[in-house]
Amino acid sequence: MKQPVLTLESVRKSFGALKVTDDVSLSVAPGELHALIGPNGAGKTTLVHQISGMLKPDSGAIRFRGEDISALTPEKRARRGLARTFQITSTIASLSVLENVALGVQAKVAHPLSLFRNAARDAALNRPALAALEAVGLADRAEVPAGRLSHGEKRALELAMALALEPAAILLDEPLAGVGREEGERLIELLSSLKGRYAMLLVEHDMAAVFALADKVSVLVYGRVIASGEPAAVRADPAVREAYLGEEG
């Protein structure tokens, strides 16, 4: 067994009386794509927020490459190589596509906050940024302001921004949400091209995508993991069928 990159140990979180994360334990091995599925309101995004540091769990531990990161700020987790994308696309609309990706590159280079070095003409930033854009097929859109991209392109851009961090793990919060069929297919292809290179935790509603991509599937219902394992086994699980898959026919 390889040492997992990301491990959640009995993570709990409540908003008042509502248990949004109820004793969740799961792990993602290097290069593994672990899908997290569940009905609306199951607490998937809340869980991603806790892993990325935007919310603090009430109890439990989040280990990333062996270190307990549950008390760290989001920026410290990002610096340790934990990248994420958002359910609602989150880019810097007024900066160009290249500049958006260069932000991530900048977090990794020496003197990331140099006060005097011009950023726009900085090859140390632009070259890796362009490489990340080529990896997601957006290189020809490098100069366009991010706000002018199509929805699917923004999704790909977010992915490039995550890749620019040279992460060990990527949290993908519904990367296909609101994307049309054609762009969706391209994104699925893109994600499968990244498989094996990064540990990925994928939250997704599109079941076809999940079962095409995932090495492992966990099902979250009312904040609890009710099943976890190989995609085929999870799909056959009667509890899962009742709670979730069954509803969709």
Number of residues that bind other proteins (CB under 8 A): 52
The whole-angstrom separation of Cα 69 and Cα 77 is 7
79 binds other proteins per the rule CB under 8 A: yes
Nearer to other proteins, 83 or 214 (CB): 83
CB–CB of 163/77 below 8 Å?
no
111 binds other proteins per the rule CB under 8 A: yes
112 binds other proteins per the rule CB under 8 A: yes
- The least distance separating other proteins from the CB of residue 216, rounded to whole angstroms, comes to 24
What is the helix (H) or strand (E) element at residue 19, kind and residue range? strand 18-28
Nearer to other proteins, 1 or 115 (CB): 115
122 binds other proteins per the rule CB under 8 A: yes
The whole-angstrom separation of Cα 71 and Cα 3 is 22
Nearer to other proteins, 117 or 197 (CB): 117
33 binds other proteins per the rule CB under 8 A: no
142 binds other proteins per the rule CB under 8 A: yes
The whole-angstrom separation of Cα 173 and Cα 86 is 5
Q: What is the dihedral sign for C-alpha 54, 59, 65, 71?
A: positive
Q: How far apart are the first and last CA of the chain?
A: 36
What is residue 96's three-state secondary structure? strand
Of 17, 12, 21, the C-alpha closest to 41 is 21
> 171 forms bridges with which residues in the sheet?
84, 201
Q: Give the CB-side neighbour count of residue 63, counting CA atoms within 13 A.
A: 15
- Of 16-24, 139-147, 197-205, 227-235, which part binds other proteins (CB under 8 A)? 139-147
Distances (CA, A) of 103 to 6, 52, 130, 137: 24, 18, 12, 18
91 binds other proteins per the rule CB under 8 A: yes
45 binds other proteins per the rule CB under 8 A: no
Look-up: residue for tokens 């990301």?
6
- Of 3-11, 33-41, 98-106, 210-218, which part binds other proteins (CB under 8 A)? 98-106
95 binds other proteins per the rule CB under 8 A: yes
175 binds other proteins per the rule CB under 8 A: no
132 binds other proteins per the rule CB under 8 A: no
Give contact residues for other proteins (rule: CB under 8 A).
Answer: 52-54, 73-75, 77-79, 83-84, 86, 90-96, 98-99, 102-104, 106-108, 111-123, 125-127, 129-131, 134, 139, 142-143, 161, 165
